[in-house]
Structure 1
């Protein structure tokens, strides 16, 4: 870190460091550096996705909802962003939002069993809807 509290290197270095922190199971530190990188490069989809994953893994579910939502606004056909938004919303306690986005992810990628399992789990928590 520099004297001004800015990480050393450029945005790509911050992104790589954030991914390394995620891989080393330090999502809170990853979220901090990835947020800095995303602020510097707001148009980067890969930075936003890594930030959303870090926020989710750090238990910062409301923040992850916001970041995954940004990804879905930019590209509504991004099944992973829809899935992430659904998972984060579920953890944040918004089961209606979770079910909506998990259903979209399942519709886009019915071949991914973990998408379907997540949707079934949310629907069960909402009161026994069928899938």
Structure 2
């Protein structure tokens, strides 16, 4: 999970608390329907803990929710590169690539996610949609 040193409120531009608090607050904002606000705090967490896959996933989800699809794809890609068996990151990458118009690569990642979790209806639906758009 995420770690990190606490930052005081006297650090300019840095929210109070530590990485874990930033991560938790970012998730709260994201789950509360405020992806743009979540991005602001999750970017601090990602800068402090760049190898944290949980922070990267939350940031990528927030970026996707804020329609910043290329940025979301980049963060999902970082997770997939660190762990190619991470089915949710493959799904997220495929979804973000679908939105950027890179349908060939999107289908590839969505197909891998489906192969890993054939019981997941969301993955299968996304794959069908991407294949239909690809033609």
- For normalisation by structure 2, the TM-score amounts to 0.91
Gaps of 5+ in 2: 1-8
Give the deviation of 1:29 after TM superposition: 1.1
Give the deviation of 1:42 after TM superposition: 1.2
Which residue does the alignment assign to 1:15?
23
Q: 1:38 to 1:3 in 2, by over 3 A?
A: closer
The runs of 4+ residues in structure 1 deviating greater than 4 Å are: none
Which residue does the alignment assign to 1:81?
89
Which residue does the alignment assign to 1:63?
71
Which residue does the alignment assign to 2:3?
none
Query: Take 2:91 and 2:98, find their aligned partners in 1: how far apart are those partners?
Result: 11
Which residue does the alignment assign to 2:103?
95
Give the deviation of 1:3 after TM superposition: 6.0
Alignment root-mean-square deviation, CA: 1.1
Secondary structure class of the residue paired with 1:52: helix
Query: Take 2:10 and 2:37, find their aligned partners in 1: how far apart are those partners?
Result: 16
| Corresponding residue to 1:122 among 110, 130, 135 | 130
Which residue does the alignment assign to 1:25?
33
- For normalisation by structure 1, the TM-score amounts to 0.93
Query: Take 1:12 and 1:2, find their aligned partners in 2: how far apart are those partners?
Result: 19
Which residue does the alignment assign to 2:55?
47
